[in-house]
Chains A and B, each alone.
Chain A
C-alpha cells in the first residue's frame, strides 16, 4: 500500500522523500502539485511559498538551508503585500490565529471599554447645564426616563428622526409624562445650521412654545433653507406663526447674543464624545442607560428605556 502518489504519472511510494526524489528525477517537478522547475532552488522556493503548511519538518529544514528562506521580494511576488509583511516566518495558521486574536481583542475592547454605563445623570457630560435647555415633558429630575438629544437643524438624519420617530415618542412617552426630552442644538453639519441654532436659542429665551414650533419648521423646510435664506425664513415663520418679536430674534442672531449658550451645548457634545448628529443620551431612573446614534426607530428608544 502506498501513501504517496506522483501527481504526474500516478506512481506510488511509501515515503514522502521517495516521492520527492521520483518527481524530481523523473519529471523535474514538485511532488505536491506537479509544477515543473528548472532547478532545485526554484523548487524549494516554491515549497516555502505555496506549500509551507504541507511541508514536513525535514523538507522545510532542507528547503530553508538551501535557499536561506524567502526574500521580501519573493514574498511580495508570491504572497501579496499582506503576506509579504505578515507572513515573515509565520505559517498560515499562525497568521489566521493572530488575526482572530487581534479581531477578538478589538471587539472585546470595544465592548468592554468606554465609559458612562450606570453613571448618574448629574455626573454625565451630556447633561451639563440641563436645567437651562429646552425640555418637553416632565422635568428630567422627576421623569422615569430622559432623552438628551444633540441635533442640528440642518442635518438630514435629524430631520428623519423628527419625521419618523419623534411624533411617536412625544405621543406615547413624553406627553403622558413618562419621559423628559431635552434638545441641545449643535451647528456641526451645514453652514446655515449655525444661525438656525442661534435663532432657536433666541426664540427659546422668549417662548418655549415658539421654540418647538421653529425647530419643527426648520426640519420640515430643511431642503429649502440655505445660508442666504435662513434669517429671512426664520423671520417670516416667527412673524406669521408665533407671538414672538421676529425682528428681535433676527437681531439677536446677527449680534450672536446666544453664542455662549450654543458654545455650552457644543462643549457638552465634545465632552460626551458626540461624533455626529443626531446623537441621543438615554437616562433611566436618573442613571445613564445608553447612547443612541442616528435616527433610530421608536422601539429602540422605548425598549432601551425599559418602556
Chain B
C-alpha cells in the first residue's frame, strides 16, 4: 500500500469546475444549505468575539444591563454594522466566514453521506484553523493571532506588511479553497443528491 503525498493544488479549470459542482450540489440540499449558513455565522462570530472576549463575558453575558443594550453591543461588533472594520477587511472577513460555512457543510456531507471518518476530512480542518488565524489578523489586533505572536514579540510587525496583516486572511481564503478542492477530489466519481460527479 502506498500513500500519495503529491501536493494537490487547485490549478486547472477542471479542478475549479469540480469544486463548483460539488459545492452547488451539496448546497442544493436544504439541510446542508442551512448548515453552511449556520457554520458561516458561527465562524464570523468566532472571529468577531475572539477580539473582544471581555465584552462577551462582562457585558453580553455577565452584566445587569438591559437586554436591549446587550443586544446592541453584540450586533455593533460585526462588520458592516459597527465601525471596527474597514470595507476591505469586512469583506475579506465575510468571505472567509462564507468559505468556512461551505467547507464545513461539504465536509459534513462527505462524512455523513459517504460514511467517511473524521480524520479523512482533515484537509478541511487545516483550512478552518488557518482561516481562524487569518481572519483574526484581518481584524488587526485580534486576540487569536496577536496573542500568539505577542509571545514572540512580533505582533507589531504585522503592520509592517504591505496590507497591514490582511495578507494572512488572503492566505486563509486560499487554504479554505484548497481544502474544498481536497474534499471534492475525494468525492470524484460519486454522487451527490443523485447527480454524478466527474471522475
Interface residues of A (CB under 8 A from B): 32-33, 49-54, 73-84, 86-87, 92, 95-96, 99, 110-112, 114, 116-117, 155-157, 160-161, 164-165, 188-190, 275-277, 279, 289-297, 299-300, 303-304, 306
Contacts and interface: CB of A to CB of B under 8 A. Distances in A.
Contacts of A73: 1, 3
A67 to B, nearest CB: 12
B122 A111 contact: no
A189 B121 contact: no
Given A111-B57, A114-B57, A300-B76, A80 B83 contact: no
Contact of A76 (B3, B70, B77, B118): B3
Given A79-B119, A277-B141, A303-B69, A117 B58 contact: yes
17 contacts: A73-B3, A80-B121, A82-B121, A82-B122, A96-B118, A110-B53, A290-B58, A294-B140, A294-B141, A296-B52, A296-B76, A296-B84, A297-B82, A300-B76, A303-B59, A304-B69, A304-B73
Most buried by B among A116, A160, A161, A300: A300
B47 to A, nearest CB: 12
Given A75-B119, A77-B1, A112-B57, 13 more contacts: A51-B115, A77-B2, A87-B117, A92-B118, A117-B57, A160-B86, A164-B83, A189-B156, A276-B142, A297-B82, A299-B72, A299-B82, A303-B69
Contacts of B147: 275
B130 interface: no
Contacts of A189: 156, 159
Contacts of A49: 117
Interface of B: 1-3, 51-59, 61-63, 65, 69-70, 72-73, 76-77, 82-84, 86, 111, 115-123, 125, 139-143, 146-147, 150, 155-156, 159, 164
Contact of A276 (B61, B65, B76, B155): B155
A157 B117 contact: no
A297 B76 CA distance: 7
A79 B120 contact: yes
B54 A290 contact: yes
B83 A296 contact: yes
Minimum-distance CB pairs A-B, first 3: A83-B119, A276-B141, A79-B119
